Chains A and B, each alone.
Chain A
């Protein structure tokens, strides 16, 4: 297959870089949305290879990083409740809540289990009929079908001791929130390939039109990223703003219809708090009325008092692309992956942890 060698070979990296150098006439700031892309850019040293004029800033596309303190506290509250087994993806358990992390709650005796998939939590529920099993359902659009499916299957299998603590976030409203901030400097976006594998690409068209900003749906490997950047810069230099798809080999225009249907069946769109950014209208999923009995917030009547974010952590500015991690006074000193002050230092997809692990980038 010819096109594959095109995506992976190092000569192509050189070629894209040479084209970029030829093309670029003035400074441009491009934000990649997805934490997987941030990780790949930093780890592969791509930012150092780019022409000086091009600045990459890192977006809020790491669900671990944008989950607000209040929801972490809800998860910890549930984990510490008698008779509850709290299941979570591994990435979430070290994120500090307002007092502790899930890992610390576990060390103190709470039943917290790390699972690879929400569907495994159904088995835990089935095997522990005397307990309530809650899955901490975080994620962007990519993860929503799996979390939704776990609820659909729970009902089909007659499992009643299962619920999810939904903490879902959506990409397009976050882009709008970032773009409508007058201080934003973003000229173009790379949209996340795997999010679009589910949702398709059409929902980005209104963002392109309203803000006249190029959006290129992009994969996460180095050659994908470089091609995505090249496509964005080509548009910028021509004064165009279009939606383009670099990742056509995986992303179809309409996305995955069955996955979107499952999401719609279980979830409803709701306002959501983003860590450090604040509330963004219609930017998340909550469990809908049809499946209310699987909504942990309703089942356990969660109503915790609101908490303020940690004032020492500037995650909000990092997640909006206004500051780089090394501009945080605590970066690498008070805040390290072993003792994170904020979520972007916890996950390997968070900008702070990516910079910390692969130091030497600027």
Chain B
């Protein structure tokens, strides 16, 4: 549970004010609702590192892809599969 997993912001689903935003993030096809309050500059199409449902930083696309592939290989993305 300690690692952060990169995914791509698909859409912003809720926006209450400048910082309080929630979006859909895709992790290699698995979609999750993610809180974007800690990454106010992130836009749809950006990649973010997500830890337990909260995006903690923006990363570039290639970084995101290779990291995701690695995490998948070591079985760290399984925690995403209990889809909600």
A contact residues vs B (CB 8 Å cutoff):
1, 4, 7-8, 34-36, 39-40, 43, 61-64, 89-91, 114-120, 139-140, 142-143, 145-146, 149, 192, 194, 197-198, 220-221, 249-250, 252, 256, 258-259, 262, 348-349
Residue of A nearest to B4 (CB): A194
Residue of B nearest to A117 (CB): B53
Q: How far is the CA of A36 from the CA of B75 in the complex (A)?
A: 11
Residues of A within 8 A of B35 (CB): 119, 146, 149
* A9 CB, nearest partner CB in chain B, Å: 10
**B38 is contacted by which of A115, A145, A194 (Cβ under 8 Å)?**
A145
The answer to whether A36 and B57 touch across the interface, beta carbons within 8 angstroms, is: no
The answer to whether B79 and A90 touch across the interface, beta carbons within 8 angstroms, is: yes
**B38-84 contacts to A (CB < 8 Å):** 38-40, 49, 51-54, 56-57, 59-60, 62-63, 66-67, 70, 74-76, 79-80, 82, 84
* B41 CB, nearest partner CB in chain A, Å: 10
Residues of A within 8 A of B79 (CB): 90, 116
The answer to whether B53 and A194 touch across the interface, beta carbons within 8 angstroms, is: no
Contact status of A117 and B2, CB under 8 A, knowing A149-B37, A249-B63, A250-B57:
no
Contact status of A256 and B56, CB under 8 A, knowing A89-B1, A262-B38:
yes
Q: How far is the CA of A142 from the CA of B57 in the complex (A)?
A: 11
Residue of B nearest to A251 (CB): B57
**How many residues belonging to B are interface residues under a CB distance threshold of 8 Å?**
33
**B54 is contacted by which of A91, A149, A250, A252 (Cβ under 8 Å)?**
A149
Contact status of A117 and B54, CB under 8 A, knowing A220-B3, A258-B19:
yes
Residues of A within 8 A of B57 (CB): 197, 250, 252, 256
The answer to whether B52 and A258 touch across the interface, beta carbons within 8 angstroms, is: no
Residues of A within 8 A of B54 (CB): 117, 119, 145-146, 149
Give me 13 A-to-B residue pairs in the complex whose CB atoms sit less than 8 angstroms apart, sorted by A's number. A4-B63, A90-B1, A91-B1, A114-B82, A116-B52, A118-B52, A120-B53, A142-B2, A143-B1, A146-B51, A194-B49, A221-B67, A252-B57
* A158 CB, nearest partner CB in chain B, Å: 14
Q: A119-B33, A145-B38, A146-B54 are in contact. List 5 more A-B contacts (CB 8 A).
A: A4-B63, A35-B2, A63-B2, A117-B53, A198-B56
The answer to whether A250 and B84 touch across the interface, beta carbons within 8 angstroms, is: no
The answer to whether A4 and B66 touch across the interface, beta carbons within 8 angstroms, is: yes
Residue of B nearest to A192 (CB): B2
Q: How far is the CA of A205 from the CA of B8 in the complex (A)?
A: 34
* B11 CB, nearest partner CB in chain A, Å: 17
The answer to whether A119 and B53 touch across the interface, beta carbons within 8 angstroms, is: yes
Q: How far is the CA of A115 from the CA of B84 in the complex (A)?
A: 9
7 tightest A-B CB contacts, nearest first: A117-B53, A146-B54, A36-B3, A146-B52, A4-B62, A259-B38, A117-B52
The answer to whether B53 and A116 touch across the interface, beta carbons within 8 angstroms, is: yes
Residues of B within 8 A of A4 (CB): 62-63, 66
**A116 is contacted by which of B3, B38, B80 (Cβ under 8 Å)?**
B80
Residues of A within 8 A of B51 (CB): 142-143, 146, 194
Residue of B nearest to A258 (CB): B38
Residues of A within 8 A of B82 (CB): 90, 114, 116
Residue of B nearest to A221 (CB): B70
Residues of B within 8 A of A140 (CB): 2
The answer to whether B2 and A250 touch across the interface, beta carbons within 8 angstroms, is: no
Residues of A within 8 A of B67 (CB): 221
Residue among A62, A142, A197 with the most chain B CB within 10 A? A142
The answer to whether B74 and A250 touch across the interface, beta carbons within 8 angstroms, is: no
The answer to whether A120 and B66 touch across the interface, beta carbons within 8 angstroms, is: no
Residues of B within 8 A of A114 (CB): 82
The answer to whether A349 and B62 touch across the interface, beta carbons within 8 angstroms, is: no
